Amino acid sequence: IGGSGTLDTPIVLKGEYLNKAKISEGGKKLRKNWTSTWVVLDTDKLLFYKESKQEALTNLKSGARTDWVDLHGAMVEWTTERSSRKNVVQITTSSGSEYLLQADNYSIICKWHDAMKRTADSLCTT
């Protein structure tokens, strides 16, 4: 993986619709609310877009992004405890926010788990 994106011009490594729930922020528990979100994995962060894939792709530079996650120091792990759903990956950020990403299709979410983990692990040296 070469180069590095910025918030304004993300380098898209992977983009897909996943179910997303933010369950805590800065260590404080939030009410769980699953939403289908276009998720983009950049070289050092995850970006979430509310819009359709087409809109998200054409609006990558604009304010269509709803939230993002810094993967420096983040933990990416499978969880069976934080949800009754299957195929759930938990992302815990260094600032103590927790996100759940889920897809019914195991092979889809498995690729995300591996890619996010690899990305987070690769950031130790940058």
Q: Contact between 79 and ligand I3P (CB under 6 A)? A: no
Contacts of 53 (CB under 8 A, 6+ apart): 15, 17, 38
Q: Contact between 83 and ligand I3P (CB under 6 A)? A: yes
Distances (CA, A) of 24 to 33, 38, 100, 108: 11, 20, 10, 24
What part of residues 15-74 is at the interface with ligand I3P (CB under 6 A)? 31-32, 34
Closest approach, Cβ 85 to ligand I3P, in A, equals 5
What is the rounded (10 degree) CA torsion for 48, 15, 85, 120? Answer: -80
Binding-site member from 54, 84, 107, 125 for ligand I3P (CB under 6 A): 84
Q: Can you give the binding site for ligand I3P, defined by CB under 6 A?
A: 31-32, 34, 83-85
